Structure 1
Amino acid sequence: MKKGIARRAVAATLALGVGIALAGCSGGGAGAGGNAVPGEDYTGPKVSITFWNGWTGGAAPVLVPKLVEKFNSEHDNIEVKNVPQEWGDISKKMPLAVKAGKGPDVAVAHGDDVATYAAQGLLLPADDIVDALGYSADDFPEGLMDAGAYKGAQYGIPWSVTPMGLYVNNDVLKSAGIDPATVPTDKDGYMKALEALKAAGISGEWVDGYVFTGTFEFESLLWQFGGDLYNDDVTEATFNSDAGVQALTHMVDLIDKGYSPPNVAQDGNIKGLLAGQTAYNWNGVWQTTNESFNEIDWTVAPVPQIGTEQAVWSSSTHWMFMNNKGQDKNKTAAAATFVKWMNENSAGWAETGELPAANDVRNDPTLVETYPNLKPFIDSLPYAHYETSAPGITAANALITTALNEAVTGKKEPKEALDDAAKQANEILKQNAAKYGD
C-alpha cells in the first residue's frame, strides 16, 4: 500500500440502537434475536468474527491482512479472522457451512452472487444495518446498491467496483501517424482511428470471444445501443434484442472488415497490446496494476460511445452478513462495525486494481493524485451498469459468452447466436424460478 493513501473518511454522527430483526430469519437460535447494531462502533463484549473472501491474488493477500491487523489493533473488543479462499470454493462451501452454524459472520461476494445466497436463506437482511451505519444509495455510485438487493430487501453493502476502460498503446498509434492525445470518444472517431491503423498494416482492436473481455465489451455495447440483458423481473432474456444484434454485429464487423484478426485467444488482446501488435483494448480497471505496462508508453480512457448512449460494463463486490444457524447477535453487530471501518479505509484498495465503492473515499482528490490512471474509470461510473441481481443468474449469463464466441468465430450469424442463447437462457430462468421460489 502506498503511504498516505489509506485514510479514514470523516464519519457522520450516526444514530445508535437501530435493531435488526434477526428473530424472523431462518437461522434463529439463542443468540439471534433482537440485537441492536450501534451506528459505527460495537460496544458489546469481546467477540471473534470470521471473514471469508476470495482475495487470493494480486496485492490483496498482502493488503487485506494489514487492514485486518490495523482494525484489530483499534478495536479491543473485536477480533477479525481473515479466511481467504478461492471464489469457487466459497460458493460451494457456504450453504452447508451456514446451515450448520459454521459459516463466516461476514463475507464478500460479487454482485451476481448476492441474490443467490439470499434466495438460499444464507444471508441476513441488511436494511437495518445500512440504516444504522448511516448509509444510503447516495453514498455509492448510482445503481450499485441494487446489485446487492433481492425481493425488495437489501442484502449487500458495496465494497468495490471494476468498470472497463479503453487501454491505448501510444507507440502503436504513433507508428500509424495518429496523435495519441486524440483518444476517440465516439464511433466516428474510433472507426477513423481503426481505418488509419488498418492502412498502416495494424489491426487496431483485437476482438475475442471470451468472458475476459469480449463478453464485457458486448454488454457495454448492448447498453450503449439502448438494450438490456434481461427484462425488469428477470423472467426473460432480452440480450437478443435489436440492440444486442447491433452490439454483436459491430464486434463481428471489426473482424470481417480487417480491423481485428480472427480467432483471438483468451487474453490475446491484452497481450497483443502489450507486445505492440494492436493499439486499443477494452479491458477492466484491474489492468492498471499490470506491471507489463511499465514497458510501454500507454494511456487509458473511457470506452468510446459506439451506440446511442454512454454505457460501460462494471462488476462489483459487496459485504454480506451471514445467517448462520444460531448466529450470535453480537458477532453480527461487530461485523457491521468492521464493514464500516473497511469502507472508510478503502482508498488503498486501488492497489488491487479495483475502485473503492464508497463515494467519499473514491472522490477524495488524493486518490487520483496517487493513482492518476484511475481517473477515466471514475469518470465513467455515472453511466456504469452492474450485475443483474437474480438467483442463479450466472448460469444464464454464461450463454451470452457462448453466443459471442459462436458469432466472432463465424459459426453463427449474430442474430442466430443470440436467439439460440436467449432461448436456452429462458429455460434456465424458468428452472431458477422453480428452484429458488420466484
Structure 2
Amino acid sequence: MNKRFSRRAFAATLALGVGMALVACSGGGNGAGTNSVSGGDYTGPNVTISFWNGWTGGAAPVLVPKLIQKFNTEHKNIVVKDVPMQWGDISAKMPLAIKAGKGPDVSVAHGDDLATYAAQGLLLKSDDIVKSLGYGESDFPEGVFKAGNYGGAQYAIPWSVTPLGLYVNKTVLTSAGLDPAALPTDKASYQKALDALKAAGVQGEWVDGYVFTGTFEFETLVWQFGGDLYNKDVSEATFNSDAGVQALTWMTDLIKNGHSPSDVAQDGNFNALVAGKTAFNWNGVWQTTNEALPNVQWVAAPVPQIGTEKAVWSSSTHWVFVNNKGQDKNKTAAAATFVKWMNDNSAGWAETGELPAANTVRNDPALLSKYPNLKPFMDELPYAHYETVSPGISAANATITTALNEAVLGKKTPKQALDDAVTKANQLLKQNKSQYGG
C-alpha cells in the first residue's frame, strides 16, 4: 500500500466522522480573523511551536527531523517540535485538541481537505500571512494555490504536488520488440504498443478498481476527453457525462480486449510492473522512490493523451495554520517563518517522492540534476488538474471509486455504474450544502 493511502484514510475519517461536531465545537479561536506577521524572520519572544504530521514512512521520517533541526539551529527564538503520528491518530485527537487550545500551531493537509477544514472552523484565515510572506498564485504551479481558497479567503500555502505519470518496464518492452526510447504519447501509439505486447503474450496495462491508482487514471481520462467531475459550484456531479463514459469504457475495454487481467489486487499493477509481468503502469510521482525500482530497468514518462486534451491528475499538500482556542499570535507568526523557510529549503523533499510546490525551488536546474526521474512529472504540471475544492467532497469522491470498481469487475456497464454513482454523489453534495452551508 502506498504511503499516501494512510493520509487519505485520515482525511476521510476527519471529514466524515467529526464534521458536524467540529462545526459546533471549533469556536476556539478567531476563524474569521487573521494573524499579522512580518515578511521577514520572526523577531518576537522565544516560542515553541508544534508541528503535527503523519509522515511516519519512507524517507520523510528521516528528512523532516533533519530539516527541523536545521531550522531550529538557524532560529534562536523558535523551537519547532516535530510531532509525527499516524494520520488516523491525528484525526482522533485534532478536534478536541483544537477545542482545548492544544492542537498544533502548524500542520499539512491535502488540497481536497482544505475546504472541509475551513468550513469547520479548524483553520485560521491566512490572507495576511500569505501576503506578508510574499506568496501569490504565480509562485506555484497553475491551479494549486486556488485549492487553499474557500469563501473568498485564503487558508493555505502550497507545499508539494504529486502528479500521475506513466511507469515503463523497459525490459518488457524490449522483449516485445518495442523501442524503450520511443514511448507512446497518444492513443494511437499507446494502442499500438499494447497490441504488440499482447502479441508477445504480455498484458500491457493492468487496470485496477481502487483509488490507487485506477481512480486517478479514470479522472485523468475524464479531463482528457473534455469532461469534469463536478459542475462549477460543485452542486452536481458530472462524471457520468459522455466524457466519463468514454473514460471508463476505455479502461474496461483494456480488460475486455485482453490487455489487462479482470481482477487486479490493490497495488497489483505496480507489483506486476516490478515483476516484469506488464509494461505500463499509471502511477504517482511518489513511486519514483519505491525501493523495488532499482532492481528494474524502468523509465517514467508523461501519461499518454488518450482523449482530445492534455490533462493529468495531481494531488497537492498545503501548509495550514490551526485555529486553536486562544491561539497565540506569536506562535502563528513563528509558524509562518517556519513555513517560508521549509518552502525555501524544500529541494530535498523530492527524496520523498513529491515535487516541491515552490516554483523557485522546483525549477532550479540542480533539482533535476539530482533527481532526473522527476522530469516527466514536472513537464506535466502546466496541464495538471488538482483536487476539487468543496467542503465534505471526500464522500462524493468515494462514489467515483465505487463506480470504477463495479465496472472493472463487470458488475455493471460503465454508464450504469457512473449513473448510479452520480445519483449517490448528488445526494451527498446536497447533504454537504446543508451541513456546511454555501
* 1:36 Cα deviation from its structure 2 partner: 2.8
Aligned partner of 2:389 in structure 1 is 389
CA shift in 2, pair 1:76/1:249, >3 Å: same
Does 1:84 pair with 2:84? yes
Determine if contact 1:33/1:329 at 8 Å carries over to the other structure: no
For residues 182 and 318 of structure 2, what CA distance do their matches in structure 1 show?
36
**What are the residue-to-residue correspondences of 1:39-438 with 2, within 5 Å?**
39-438=39-438
**Post-superposition offset of 1:53:** 1.1
Identical residues among aligned pairs (%) = 76
Q: Quote how far apart the aligned CAs of 1:248 are.
A: 0.3
CA contact (8 A) 1:99 1:122 kept: no
The alpha-carbon deviation at position 329 of structure 1 amounts to 0.7
* Map of 1:16 onto structure 2: none
1:426–1:191 distance in 2 versus 1, CA, 3 Å: same
> What letter corresponds to residue 138 of structure 1 in structure 2?
S
- Residue aligned with 2:48, SS: strand
In structure 2, how many angstroms separate the alpha carbons of the residues matched to 1:33 and 1:285? 37
With over 3 angstroms needed to count, the CA separation of the structure-2 counterparts of 1:177 and 1:33, relative to structure 1, is closer
- Between the aligned partners of 1:350 and 1:196, the Cα distance in structure 2 is 35
User: CA RMSD, aligned part only?
Assistant: 1.3
C-alpha displacement of 1:113? 1.0
Q: 1:241 corresponds to which letter in structure 2?
A: S
Cα 1:35–1:213 change in 2 (3 A) is: closer
Q: Distance in 1 between matches of 2:224 and 2:267?
A: 24
Unpaired runs of 5+ residues, structure 2, are: 1-25
Closer, same or farther in 2 for the Cα pair 1:219/1:379, shift >3 Å?
Answer: same
Residues of 1 paired with 2:159 and 2:91: CA distance?
18
Residues 205, 35 of structure 1: alpha-carbon distance in 2 compared, 3 angstrom cutoff:
closer
Provide the rounded CA distance (Å) in 1 between the counterparts of 2:36 and 2:346. Answer: 25
Aligned length in residues: 412
Q: 1:52 and 1:428 mapped to 2: Cα distance?
A: 30
Deviation at 1:351, TM superposition (A): 0.8
User: Which residue of structure 2 lines up, in the alignment, with residue 14 of structure 1?
Assistant: none
Bigger drift between 191-200 and 84-93 goes to 84-93
Contact 2:186 2:306 in 1 (8 A): yes
What do the CA deviations read for 1:80-135 (whole angstroms, capped 9, x no partner)?
Answer: 11111222332332222112111111110111111111011011111111100000
State the 4+ residue runs in structure 1 displaced beyond 3 angstroms: 25-29, 32-35
Judging changes above 3 Å, is the alpha-carbon distance between structure 1 residues 116 and 92 closer, same or farther for their aligned structure 2 residues?
farther
Structure 1's 127 and 34: CA in aligned 2 closer, same or farther, altered over 3 A?
A: closer
Q: How many angstroms does 1:291 deviate by?
A: 1.7
Structure 1 unaligned spans of 5+: 1-24
Q: Aligned with 2:36: secondary structure?
A: strand
Is residue 59–residue 351 contact of structure 1 (8 Å, CA) maintained in 2?
A: yes
How many Å separate the matches in 2 of 1:107 and 1:180?
A: 42
> What is the TM-score normalised by the length of structure 1?
0.92
> TM-score, structure 2 length as denominator?
0.92
CA drift at 1:26: 4.8
Maintained 8 Å contact 1:224/1:311: yes
Aligned-partner Cα distance in 1 for 2:35–2:297: 55
What amino acid maps onto 1:280 in structure 2?
F
In the alignment, the residues of structure 2 paired with residue 297 and residue 34 of structure 1 have an alpha-carbon distance, to the nearest angstrom, of 51
In structure 2, distance between residues paired with 1:54 and 1:232: 32
- Would you say the 8 A contact 1:117–1:123 is kept in 2? yes
Q: Which residue of 2 aligns with 1:13?
A: none
Residue 194 of structure 2 aligns with an amino acid whose one-letter code is L
Q: Is the 8 A contact 2:27 2:99 kept in 1?
A: no
- Residue by residue over 1:315-343, the C-alpha shift from the partner in whole angstroms, topping out at 9 and shown as x without a partner, is 11000001111011101100000000000
Aligned to 1:291, the other structure's residue is in SS state coil
Show CA shifts across 1:166-199 (max 9, x none). Answer: 0000110111000111100000000000011111
Contact 1:302 1:380 in 2 (8 A): yes
Determine the C-alpha separation between the residues in 1 that align with 2:99 and 2:429.
Answer: 25
Determine helix, strand or coil for the equivalent of 1:142: coil
**Mean Cα displacement is larger for which, 35-44 or 234-243?**
35-44
**CA, structure 1 residues 46+266, in 2 after alignment: closer, same or farther (shift >3 Å)?**
same
